[in-house]
Structure formats: structure tokens, C-alpha cells
Amino acid sequence: MGFEVLLKGNNMLRLLGGLGVALYISLISVAISIFLGIILGALMTLKNPVINVFSRVYLEIVRIMPQMVLLFIVYFGATKVLGLNLSAEVSAVIVFSFWGTAEMSDLVRGALSGIDTIQYESSAALGMNTAQTYFHVIIPQIIRRLIPLSINLITRMIKTTSLVMMIGIVEVLKVGQQIIEANRKSSPNAAFGVFATIFLLYFLACYPISLLSKYLEKKWEN
Amino acid sequence: MDFNVIKDYLPLYIKAFMLTIKIGWIGIALSLGIGVISAFILHFKIPFFSAVVKVYVELFRNTPLLVQLFFVYFGLPKLGISISAEACGAIGLGLLGGSYMAESFRSGLGAVKLSQTESALALGMKKRQLFTSVILPQAITLSVPAVVANLIFLLKETSVFSAISLMDLMFTAKDLIGLYYNTTECLFMLVIFYVIMLLPVSVLGSIVEKKARFKMFGD
Amino acid sequence: MEEILKVNNLSKRFDDIVVLDNLSLTVKKGEVVVIVGPSGCGKSTFLRCLNGLEDIEEGEVLLGDEKVNPNKKNLSKTREKIGMVFQSYDLFPHKTILQNITLAPIKVKKRNKAEVTEEALKLLDRVGLLSKKDNYPRQLSGGQKQRVAIVRALIMHPEVLLLDEITAALDPEMVREVLDVVLALAKEGRTMLIVTHEMAFAKAVADRVIFLENGKIVEEGSPAEFFDKPKTDRLKRFLETFSYEK
């Protein structure tokens, strides 16, 4: 059924290496997204009209534009319009961070505005200053709400990185294609085995993270 | 930007656009069907099928559409199951979307308060009446926001169809860029067509979402 | 008077905790029985057992000569005869006030829509909410919602009405409007079992008051004896928690 091709030489290792590339790109993008997302999300709660308009337009762009289109714009467009020569990897990180920051900022804004004003008021009534209120009362609550959601963002990011093969990055799908191509004669059914394996690899990468996110969400529900 | 180029390419883009929305909406229709059936199976805990649905939902929610499409389009023919790129796109989107819709409908059903069930039972309603006149209408309203989000997500996912040689918007844009290097115009048109495809859904979706929220919670 | 509801040796456990302990009670037609007791004493569970929302582990509940059995197929038939109103009103949010009231008679009793609507409007008028008939529950105050919930139960023509802490979730100023409706129902001879924390109301409405603690009836009697000459120390102590002395 084409699985035998993966046992040949270092094919399986190459496939895992390809998955590694995808994971690497997604982890960098997630880190950037969380960092920028927290800043933007906090800014959004200030109710500053300029920030509001900017963030609404930004979020709407991300909401309706496929990441693939954004990838094309950055990878092909930036070179042409700005004369920048971005590598495919850098383009991918830019696009995924652009997307992830939007998602993250919306989560942060939601978490922040979801905290009841009574929490601030009762902290003030207890004589806490602003720093103490945030440090002891608000931030711990926000973190509990955000961690499961940010972990969830990681799985979505990993799934999205499969797109980077479309701009020529050699990740797991591309490696898979190369293996199939190279063994066309000896293993004509390699496509089944290789793609089934990749399917499973992605599942194995994402499922535990989804479970963790669900578990934490349940645990911290109240 | 050269508007003559845009004019020249327009028919190609329109053709690709029509194909993209055709496959997209067929896939979405499939996903709604699969989602509803799966959610019912999960809600009523139908033995065996429940387990199958759970595995299906987890498998498809935790893998990228691109990988699913590659497996179906390039992998399955090796087992003698060959389908056209168009059918593959629609089925792939339907299966991916079905797993998301199943979750949305299931949590909608689960979100109807237990006290609603109890007060309906106290009025003498049978299980069936309870489900059709009390639980289901509320569950549908409660799942609206998630379903709207899924619709937008699935329409965006159509952008990976080009990977299995479907002549969709992405394919057309990439092809034209490769052939004539009119990158700016090609990307501009790509964006415009995706805006045409998604903005109305996004705006309408927000309105429907607000209405649904108001209906359930009055705020 | 004719006995309408009979509870024989009812017992119920949640895991290891005994919620109802060998409880027996007989309610006559037209009688208003008020059940009071500390939180967690099993009063709500008791009411829920009476219309089969809770499993009955030991003992039996008889409505007339019909047994209430949560596992029986025609439980819904029995429930048509027992109305219940809950603390959280639980109107159906997707239906208008009128639809909330007419849903069960039309769907469950298969009654004629026009006739049911007419009756519903009459009842709504009685509780002063006729003008709200086309509103949705979200547009009503808590007290108004609870009055609708009472009407929704009444239109099924129940033989017994169970009221489970129906004012507990209301703002104080809305309690009265709901209790007035219940008082009027008592006057016209409705059979009711009422769980409440409103002692003054209990005194006014009850034919008989029951003090429940740890799943057992500790004391029962007419409102006059019950509130003014409690026999047991436990009831005395319970009643004291409602009065203030300087």
C-alpha cells in the first residue's frame, strides 16, 4: 500500500524533518503573535477611536482574507512592489504572525473586557492600588482564560503552516511529494502510504495540544 | 497598476471565482448535513456511531485541509478510489467542515439549559415534543455564532483547492503570475474577488449573529 | 374530603447522602400545603419527585390512584395533571408570552388553537399581563415572567400545582405581585404544594405547614399552631432565624 517506501533509507526521517520545518515556523509565529497580540489587545480596551478603527479594519481583513492569499501577497507582492527580497520562510512567519496577532488580540480583548468591573471596584475598596489590582486580581484571571485559547491557537497555526509548500518551502508535504516522485518505479502506490502517514503525523502533532487546551479550559472554567 | 491587464484577465478570474464559490458552497452544504447528523448522533449517544463520529471529528479537526485533500486526491486512487478534482474539493471541504459543524451544533444542543428540559417535561411534553419544540429551536439559535465563524473559515479554506489542480482563484492568480509577471494586477484581482466572496458573508453573518444573541439573551 | 396526592414512605439518596428519609404525606383536594425548612433539607427534591423529575428509589407517589413512575412510558400523561413552577421561571426564550402559554395545551393536549388562545388571554388578563402577550420573555421583569410561568402551568388544568421557591430569584419589590396571584389561586380552591422562604406568605396562604429537616417531616400543623406555638425545639430555632431582636 505504499508504506514500505518510508522504511527505505532515511525517508521517514526526512518526512519528520519536513514536519519539523512546519512546527518551527508555527512556533516562531505563535510566539510573535502572543507577544504582539497581548499589546494590541490591551490597546483595544482603551477605547481610543483611532485604535478602534485601525483594529476593526485589521481584524476584518484577517477575518475574510485567506492566509494563502496573504502569503501570495507578501511572498510575490513584496518583492515586486517594495523591491524586498523576502525568503519564503520569512514571508510565512510574517503572514502567520499577522494572522495570529489578530486572533490573539481579539482573545486578549475578550478576556480583559470579560472581567467584571466589580473586580476592579472591590480591589479598590480593599485599598489596593492599580498595580496591585492588576498583579494580584486581574492578570491571574486573564491568564487562566487566555492560556487554553492560546494553546488552541498553536494547533491552528500548525495546521495552517501546511500552506507554506505552496510558496516553495520544503516542509512535510513537499518532502512527501519528493519521496513519491523518487520512488515512482519501485513503489507505485507510495502516494497512499506517504500521504496517509503525513495525515497521521499532523494528527499526532495537533491532537495532544487540542486535548491539553480542552483540559485546561475545563479545569479553569470558574 | 495596468487596468488593461485587469480587463484582459477579468474573464479568467470570473470563471475561477464561479468555480471557487460553486465548490465552496457545495462543500459547505455537505458540511452542514454531516454536521447535523453527527451532532444528533453525539447528542443522543447512539452506540457505536457515537464512537465513529468522535474519531472522525478529532481526525478532521486536527489535520489541515491541504493534507486531507492530498490524501484523498493522490492517495486514495492507489486503492482504486478515483475522484475528480472538483468532487475531491467539495468532499474534502465537506468532511473538514462537517467536523467543525458537528462540534458547533453539539455544543449548541448542550448549551440549552437543563431547566428548560425540566419545565417542558413538567408541562407533560414527551421526549420528542421536548426536542422539536423546545431544545432544537434554542440549540439552533445558540449555535449561530459558531456556524457563522465556520462558514467564513470554510470559504477561506477554498484557497487551498489549487493544490489539487482545481482552476480556482489561487490557481488562476499563480498561473498568470508565472506566465506574465503582472504580479501587482494579479494579486489585486485575487484580493478583490476574495473580498467579493467573503465580505457579504462576514457582514450578514455579524447581523444574524447579533439577532441570534438578542433572541436568546435579550442583549 | 377526597385525597388527591398520597406519598408513601418515599426515600431518596444522592450517593451517600440521604435526601428524603421515609417520607409520607397525604394532600386533600383543595388543600394548600406549604413546606419550609433549611436549605438542603430536601424540600425541592421532594417536589421534584412528585412529578417524576427525580428517580423514586423507595416508596411511592400516588396521584389519585395513579402511580407516578419516572420509568414509565406514560409519565408525561401523569405530568399533565401536575403543574410545576420553578424558581428560575424557565420560560421558553424563543417563544412569545402567548406562545409560551399555548405551546403545551396545543402540542401535548392537542387542544384547539383558537380555544386555547382565548383561555390564555383570559388568564393573562387575570394576572395583569394581557398587554405583554406578544412580547418575548427577555422583555419582561422577573416578577412578570414568574406570573407567566404560573399561567403556563394553569392552562394545563392541573389537579395539583407544585411551586418550588418561585420568589427566591426575584427582587424584593416583585415578590408581592407573584404571591398575590398564588393567594388568589388558594382562595378559589386550588390544590397546591408550595416550597418557600417567605414565612408571612406561608402563614397567609397555607392550610397546613410542614417543617422538613434532613429529609424528614419534623413538625406539621395549621399555620396558627405552627408559627405561634411550635412544639419542637428544632422548629423554634428555625423560626427564630427569621426574626430580629435588639
Q: Which of B123, B126, B131 to mutate: most C Cβ within 10 Å?
A: B123
> Going by DSSP bridges, is the β-strand pair C216-221/C192-195 parallel, antiparallel, or unpaired?
unpaired
Share of chain B above pLDDT 90, in %: 72
Chains that touch B (3 or more CB pairs under 8 A): A, C
Take residue B209 and report the three cell numbers written for it: 449573529
Q: Report the Cα–Cα distance between both ends of chain C, in Å, rounded.
A: 45
Largest CA distance in chain B: 72
Tell the residue number behind the cell numbers 418550588, with chain if given. Answer: C164
ipTM: 0.88
pLDDT in tens, C12-68: 888 888 888 889 999 999 999 999 998 878 888 999 999 888 888 888 898 888 888
pLDDT of residue C99: 94
Residues A51, B212: Cα–Cα separation, whole Å: 28
Chain A residues with CB under 8 Å of B177 CB are 76
For residue A130, give every residue at least 6 positions away whose Cβ sits within 8 Å of its Cβ, in sequence order, or none.
Answer: none
Contact criterion met (CB < 8 Å) for B58 and A207: yes
Pair C209, C227: CB distance under 8 Å: yes
B217 touches chain C (CB under 8 A): yes
At residue B58, the pLDDT reads 95
Confidence band for B219, pLDDT divided at 50, 70 and 90: low
Q: Which of B26 and A9 is assigned the larger pLDDT?
A: B26
C-alpha of B97 from chain center? 4
| pLDDT for the residue A222 | 62
Burial A38-60 (b: 16+ CB within 10 A, else e): bebbebbeeeeeeeeeebeeebb
Instruction: List phi, psi (to 5°) of A70.
Output: -60, -40
Q: Quote the pLDDT of residue B61.
A: 94
CA distance C93 to C106: 18
Give which of B17, B21, B55, B63 to mutate to test A binding, by max A Cβ within 10 Å: B63
Selecting from C80, C90, C138 the residue whose C-beta is nearest the C-beta of B124 gives C80
- In angstroms, the Cα distances linking C165 to C84, C89, C146 are 11, 10, 11
Position C76 scores a pLDDT of 83
Q: Which of A68, A188, A194 sits opposite B159 (nearest CB)?
A: A68
Instruction: Please report, rounded to a whole number, the percentage of residues in chain C having pLDDT higher than 90.
Output: 55
Residue of B nearest to C104 (CA): B123
**Chain A residues with CB-CB distance to B67 below 8 A:** 162, 173, 195, 198-199, 202
Q: Does B50 touch chain C (CB under 8 A)?
A: no
Total domain count for chain B? 1
Beta bridge partners, C8, equal C60
Which parts of chain C have pLDDT scores under 70?
1, 70-71
- CATH, residue B174: 1.10.3720.10
DSSP A149-212: HHHHHHHHHHHHGGGGGGGT---HHHHHHHHHHHTTTT-TTHHHHHHHHHHHHHHHHHHHHHHH
pLDDT score, position B215: 78
Contacts of C117 (CB under 8 A, 6+ apart): C98, C102
Give the bridge partners for C63, in sequence order: C5, C66
At C84, the amino acid letter reads M
Contacts for A202 with CB less than 8 Å, ≥ 6 apart? A19, A158, A159, A162, A172, B62, B63, B64, B67
How many whole angstroms separate alpha carbon B13 and alpha carbon B193? 8
> In chain C, what are the domains?
14-240 (3.40.50.300)
Supply the pLDDT for residue B154: 95
Would you state the pLDDT for residue B89? 93
Sign of the alpha-carbon dihedral angle for C134, C136, C140, C145: positive
Using pLDDT thresholds of 50, 70 and 90, give the confidence band for residue B197: very high
- Beta strand pairing call for C3-14 and C17-28: antiparallel
Predicted model pTM: 0.86
Nearest to C148, CA basis, from C108, C94, C100, C180: C100
Whether the Cβ atoms of residue C106 and residue C116 lie closer than 8 Å to each other: yes
Residue C128 contacts residue C139 (beta carbons within 8 Å): no
User: What secondary structure, in 3-state letters, does chain C show?
Assistant: CCEEEEEEEEEEEECCEEEEEEEEEEEECCCEEEEECCCCCCHHHHHHHHCCCCCCCEEEEEECCEECCCCCCCHHHHHHCEEEECCCCCCCCCCCHHHHHHHHHHHCCCCCHHHHHHHHHHHHHHCCCHHHCCCCHHHCCHHHHHHHHHHHHHCCCCCEEEEECCCCCCCHHHHHHHHHHHHHHHHCCCCEEEECCCHHHHHHHCCEEEEEECCEEEEEECHHHHHHCCCCHHHHHHHHCCCCCC
Q: Which helix (H) or strand (E) holds B61?
A: helix B49-61
| pLDDT over 70 (residue B129) | yes
Contact present, C and A (at least 3 Cβ pairs less than 8 Å)? no
Identify all chain C residues contacting B116, using CB atoms and an 8 Å cutoff. 90, 92
Yes or no: say if B118 and C45 are a contact pair by the CB < 8 Å rule. Answer: no
Question: Residue C165 region, left (φ>0) first, then alpha (ψ -120 to 50), else beta?
Answer: left
List, in sequence order, the alpha helices (H) in chain A: 11-44, 49-64, 67-72, 78-82, 88-113, 117-125, 130-132, 139-160, 172-182, 190-219
Distance in angstroms (rounded) separating the CA atoms of residues C4 and A212: 55
In this prediction, the residues of chain A whose per-residue pLDDT falls under 50 are none
Cell 479598590 found at: A124
User: pLDDT tier at B50 (50, 70, 90 boundaries)?
Assistant: very high
Query: Under an 8 A CB cutoff, do C108 and B119 touch?
Result: no
Minimal Cβ distance to C90: which of B119, B133, B214? B119
pLDDT at A126: 85
CA dist C52 and C163 (Å) reads 15
Sketch out chain A's domains with CATH numbers. Answer: 4-219 (1.10.3720.10)
Say which residue the cell 417524576 belongs to.
C52
Q: Which structural domain range is residue B120 located in? A: 3-217
- Shortest distance between the Cα of A68 and any Cα of chain B, in A, equals 6
Q: With beta carbons less than 8 A apart as the criterion, state whether A178 and A43 touch.
A: no
pLDDT at B218 over 70: no
Report the residue of chain B nearest C85, measured CA to CA: B119
State how beta strands C32-36 and C192-195 pair. parallel
How does residue B78 score in pLDDT terms, banded at 50, 70 and 90?
confident
Is the CB of residue A34 less than 8 Å from the CB of residue A102?
A: no
